[in-house]
A and B are shown apart, each in its own frame.
Chain A
Amino acid sequence: MLEKKKVIIKKEEKFDLKKVIGGRIKRARRDKSAQWVADRVGLTRSGLSQIENGKSNVSAAMLWKIAGVLHININEFFPVVPEASSFEKQDAEIIKKEDEEGAKFMKAAYLDR
């Protein structure tokens, strides 16, 4: 159980949205140079590189501009939004109405960590 927990934490540390978006911009401009894109959206070449390498945050307005000059849809810059639903205390309460041990069991698995 402990090992599994470690893996999950590692995954979360690894996931950097800035890097994901930056990488997707880089991929989306294909054979167009960074300078070419930067000129058309009002950035410096190095400013765009910083974004592409995940070193700086990009604004929604800037993403929209970049999508425009590359003729792609803005949502292509984003990974899928993770499932929001999670097991919560009130779920344990619902289970408790039917079975106390079941509620304890689920709590131990999902909430007591």
Chain B
Amino acid sequence: MKTVEKIVEEIITKLNITSAPVNVEGIAERCNVQVRRASAKNISGLLYRKDGVAFMAINSEEPIVRQRFTIAHELGHFFLHHTKDTFIEYRDNKKKVVRGFKEVEANSFAASLLMPQDFLKRDVDANKHALSEDDVKSLANKYKVSEIAMTYRLTHLNLLKSH
């Protein structure tokens, strides 16, 4: 079975994405996924699909970096969890433990898409010294993700250790 990382790499190659920040909304559009925004209390994002197209709603009240992560997360469901029938996927914004295997997968899809392994490695390699807190901050800015997401991703890719 292909890893999520591998699947994302293929998407990035196929769509000819070469630099950060990754335009997740543009990717959605190109894949026939509509993205619209509205405010909601307890939902960050929702993906609804029918007839081979998909409709996404994103919570407009949340910070941009969070919205980007939500779009990427819902795209994860779109790409990884194929279902033929009408289907609803949520990302709720309650700070509880992430439910289920699919949610974990969608999150790792989102991280891989927003912070592609190759791009990050290139950027970290260009840095002569071990990454400082400020470096992580500026990487987060460059990739338009939260610092927490960036730190988590760097740790996951083993890029945070000192050189």
Residues of A whose CB lies within 8 Å of any CB of B are 1, 4, 83, 85, 87, 91, 94-95, 98-99, 101-102, 104-106, 108-110, 112
Contact = CB atoms under 8 A, between A and B. Distances in A.
B90 A99 contact: yes
Given A83-B53, A95-B88, A98-B88, A105 B48 contact: no
Contacts, number: 59
Per CB-CB distance, the 5 closest pairs between chain A and chain B, nearest first, are A108-B38, A109-B57, A109-B38, A109-B36, A105-B40
- What is the predominant secondary structure among interface residues of chain A facing chain B? helix
Q: Give chain B's interface secondary structure class.
A: strand
B86 interface: yes
Interface size classification for chain B: 20 to 34
Contacts of A91: 48, 50, 55, 86
Contacts of B37: 1, 4, 109
Given A105-B46, A110-B57, A99 B38 contact: no
Contacts of A109: 36-38, 57-58
Contact of A85 (B41, B50, B58): B50
A108 B59 CA distance: 10
B32 interface: yes
Given A106-B55, A110-B57, A101 B40 contact: yes
B86 A102 contact: no
B60 A1 contact: yes
Contacts of A112: 38
20 contacts: A1-B60, A83-B53, A85-B53, A87-B48, A87-B55, A91-B48, A91-B50, A91-B55, A91-B86, A95-B48, A102-B46, A102-B90, A104-B40, A105-B40, A105-B43, A105-B57, A106-B55, A109-B36, A109-B38, A110-B55
